[in-house]
Chain A
Amino acid sequence: MIQTSHFRVRTSHERDEARLRLEGELDIATAPRVEAAVREALAAPARRVVIDLAPLAFVDSSGLRLFILLAERSRAEGWELALLRPGEPTIAVFRITGAEQNLPFIDGDGSG
């Protein structure tokens, strides 16, 4: 796996919930690492996965594609996905495409 210094996933578990905090830039190089981290969290096994997008510095459509895929997978497999909404400008890719309404965004400070 390609190791890139501009991206980091920190995972913490509490009961059946896994929380993934994404830091850095989410693009075609780093999106597979989030998918792998989600897979590991589900194997833990978590029933609810909360992905914190707030610390991200950048997201492009590879991130958008990933979250759409994960949302579909969660519905098909019966686990819960929640995305902590990022601020400006990283929300732009979700807003411009209209995907913001269709993805399970929640607001929060990451402590909930």
Chain B
Amino acid sequence: MSHTSGYPQQQTELELSLERDVEAPRVARAAVTGLCRELELEGSVCQTLVLLVSEVVSNAVLHSAGPHDAPIGLSASVGADAVRITVTDAGEGFIPGERDPGRIDGGYGLFLLSKASSRWGVEAGAPTSVWFELDVAGQ
């Protein structure tokens, strides 16, 4: 089975506004799963995308310094080589930072991001964005 070709060359966009509550990660996962199907992404890539989007959205729900009624933005752009997902919250100065993954109360989400994504980053401010990319083409 070849995974090296067949990915769309054009950018495909997903734009969603999620209510900031504990259901938001599930809604985000469903949206990304739909995108995966639409793009016929490889199963393992899709599973990693779904896991990481769940982590980043959960972080925004639980730890954003923004108002509780401010929505969380989810966007995905798909290029020939990588899928990029951005999660934006209204928080001001929310810095995920390095957390100790051994801590019981958190930190695993960003630890997973650093382990399983191809690239990731934070644009701190108001709003604050956390983005990650996963390479999809080539072997």
Q: How far is the CB of A26 from chain B (nearest CB, A)?
A: 10
**A65-B104, A89-B47, A92-B47 in contact; A28/B62 too (CB < 8 A)?**
yes
B9 beta carbon closer than 8 Å to chain A = no
Q: Which one of A9-17, A38-46, A56-64, A74-82 is at the B interface?
A: A56-64
A54 to B47, CA, bound (A): 17
> Is A60 touching B47 in the complex (CB atoms < 8 A)?
no
A52 beta carbon closer than 8 Å to chain B = no
Residues from chain B with a CB closer than 8 A to the CB of A64 are: 108
Chain B residues within 8 Å of chain A by Cβ, number: 26
**A28-B25, A65-B106, A93-B51 in contact; A60/B44 too (CB < 8 A)?**
no
Residues on B facing A (Cβ under 8 Å):
22-23, 25-26, 29, 43-44, 47-48, 50-51, 54-55, 58, 61-62, 101, 104-106, 108-109, 111-112, 115-116
Residues on A facing B (Cβ under 8 Å):
2, 4, 6, 25, 27-29, 58, 60-62, 64-65, 68-69, 72, 89, 92-93, 96-97
